[in-house]
Amino acid sequence: MQTLSWYYRRLKAMSADEIVWRMHSSLRDRVDRCLVGRRRRARALPVILNGNGCASGPGFRVCRRKVGEKDWLGIDDASYESLLRRATQIAENSLSFFDLKDAHLGDPIVWNRDHKRGQDTPLAVSSTVDYRDVAEAGDCKFVWEPNRHHQLVVLARAYRLSGETRFAQAVAGQLRSWLDQNPYGLGMNWRSGLELGIRLINWVWALDLIRESNMIDEALRTRLLDSVARHVWEIDRKYSRGSSVNNHLIGEAAGVFTATSYFRNLKHAARWRARSWGILNQEITNQTFADGGTREQAIGYHLFVVQFFVAAGIVARATGTDFPGSYWSRLEKMFEFLAVLSAGGDCLPAFGDGDDGYVLDLGDHPRRVQEWLAVGAALFGRSDFKAAAGRCSEPVAWLLGESGLDRFETLPDDHKKPCRSTALAETGYYLLQHGAGDAPDRISAVFDCGPLGMGTLAAHGHADALSFTLRAFGRDVLVDPGTYDYFSYPQWREYLRSTRAHNTVVIDGADQSEMLGLFLWGRRARARCLAWEPSETGGRVTGEHDGYRRLDDPVTHRRTLALDGGARLLTVRDEIEAQGRHNVQICLHVAERCEVRPAGENRFAVDVGPGVVTIEMDRQLAVETYRGSEDPIFGWVSRGYHQKEAGTTLVGRCTADGSMSLQCRIEIGDSKGRME
């Protein structure tokens, strides 16, 4: 339950127009509660019939290959067998998501349940369900994830390639049980427009892939069309607005656009489609910077919305309603952003929030950035994207067909291109890099000098100004520890958003920006880049922020990163400008798979696997190490929602009387160096 102070702070983040809109929405929700029973009644088929008295076929096809053909896909035997095993488990109602592995969700699946907690969610009017209240509704993420229906596309892919009707039958069975348990307007599964949008996209893909199976009989088809129309109507009248505009609005519009382009004879489909097209065309520039980065300052959500924009763009081209060149050029820049950030290793830096969101499950790893860079390579004809991807991926085939596969294969290889230092200045990320793109001893440091987040809420930002990550030998060395949780564990949510959970400086135990709620910030740090001097061997970048100017004795933190790739040395210099006495804390979070050992006074040897990195913290600091500590929370890395592993955190502490400078030296050994 939200407190009165939360509502007051939330209200302060809204414009006058938004306050009026939210008052209107509140009145609308009250009317909905009175009318929801009437609206659930069966209605006439919500389609426009053609001259022959029949509804026409789908507006586009997601795959035109015959059922049972798989050679065109280029999928190897191991991947094919893996897909069939996974689809078989799904057909038996066993799903894996977040930290649940092969969890049996019931027979039929119980759709209104948090299956991790074993807690049913109320089947009340959806607007009355407080999805943030775990005690009332369970963790909404665990309720919503299986209801996004990603698994239906996995089943449909398995049917399409194998021709085995049991997989198509399982799609129909899960759809039927979902409709039985989720009457319009009741429960968590009608609560969020984003969830409805993702579900619509997956319904379209699954239904089209199993179209030839005849498993969707007339009765089920009628119920589905009715539910699709209700999904679209519900989203269209409740699009996110004002301070709530973020990736949710993109997902809502993509769902409406995909559904109304496929079920184009739905009543009002043309109007709904036009409005969603306009939103997508507008938000691709509204929510990104010119360098392609996300204004949410959350890398996980960047990949999420890229998938929405790709899916919507492909639908637009397939239906003759293509987006303008500005849409595609910005989408290409978004792919460039991903390619630049992925140059140093297999994993993207985890700046900002991430909740494992994705749109369609079309391969082995729906959130693996390399799979999507392969899509970008084929879509835009970019050999640098191909080099970053490493190899072709199954999503290329499903999204772009055989022509996409051919285009990817004919692109020249570009693996030897060096990792150059690069400024993503609008987003505020600066990369100091050295070494060839595929070299085992390449070095990549990413410096965060950007804003906290997007809009008045900055909902998915973290207090991480002047933090940095380091990758060497293609592996993570110093990391952003991730997100882990939104609703179930407030202490973990607070910690992983805090300044001390990032590789930066903490003054007097305070966060750079003021947390007001789970997705709400008050006074926030403003970071800026003071100097950017790239070179052939790395270069230098300097930034500062004013987050601690709010202290009684104002403090400015200024940081310089300098990489000398030839000497394999990264130097981090922190300058603290103040008049009075302050407690200073520097945190360095080491990746969970690295082994850390003392190597002298304030020196630590980090075994990365292919090589060794030695960290020497300033002698003015008293350094402690934490690994998997819960009091205080330190020494954890989260790679996924509700997933965490023990890592090592180095914490150096000292007291500053006025201004002071601290320096950390990070020596990156060669790829043959090993710990004794």
Burial of 440 (0-12, 13-18, 19+ CB in 10 A): middle
Cβ-contact 607, 674 below 8 angstroms:
yes
C-beta of residue 572 within 8 angstroms of C-beta of residue 557: no
Give me 474's structure tokens. 């293609």
Provide the pLDDT for residue 419. 87
Q: Are 94 and 103 contacting, i.e. CB atoms less than 8 angstroms apart?
A: yes
Asked if pLDDT for residue 292 goes beyond 60, the answer is: yes
**Nearest Cα to Cα of residue 475 among 618, 259, 671:** 671
Asked if pLDDT for residue 660 goes beyond 90, the answer is: yes
pTM (two decimals): 0.94
pLDDT (mean) for 110-117: 98
d(CA 366, CA 358): 7
User: Is-contact 637 592, C-beta < 8 A?
Assistant: yes
| Residue length of the chain | 676
User: How far is residue 262's CA from residue 353's CA, in Å, rounded to a whole number?
Assistant: 33
pLDDT tens by residue, 14-66: 677 666 656 766 766 666 767 666 666 655 456 654 444 345 579 999 998 99
Count of helices and strands (H, E) across the chain: 17, 27
Q: Hey, which residues does 545 pair with through a beta bridge?
A: 527, 557
By the 10 Å C-beta count (0-12 exposed, 13-18 middle, 19+ buried), 638 is classed as buried
The answer to whether the bond into 395 is cis (omega within 30° of 0) is: no
Mean pLDDT in residue range 338-352? 93
Q: Rounded to whole angstroms, how far apart are CA atoms 210 and 155?
A: 9
| pLDDT tens digits along 134-165 | 999 999 999 999 999 999 999 999 999 999 99
Which is nearest to 95 in space by CA: 146, 47, 53, 141? 146
- Please name the helix (run of DSSP H) or strand (run of DSSP E) that holds residue 515, with its range, or none: strand 515-517
Alpha carbon of 476 to those of 129, 346, 387, 468, 639: distances in Å?
A: 41, 8, 20, 12, 12
Residue-wise pLDDT for 169-194, tens only, equals 999 999 999 999 999 999 999 999 99
For each of the domains in the chain, give its residue range(s) and CATH number, in order of start: 1-241 (no CATH), 288-415 (no CATH), 422-668 (2.70.98.70)
Sorting pLDDT into bands at 50, 70 and 90, what band is 252?
very high
Q: Tens digits of per-residue pLDDT, 496-521?
A: 999 999 999 999 999 999 999 999 99
Q: At what angle do helices 369-380 and 299-318 cross, to 10 degrees?
A: 40
Q: Give the DSSP H or E segment for 606.
A: strand 603-607
Q: Where are the alpha helices (DSSP H) in 40-164?
A: 77-91, 134-137, 140-147, 150-162
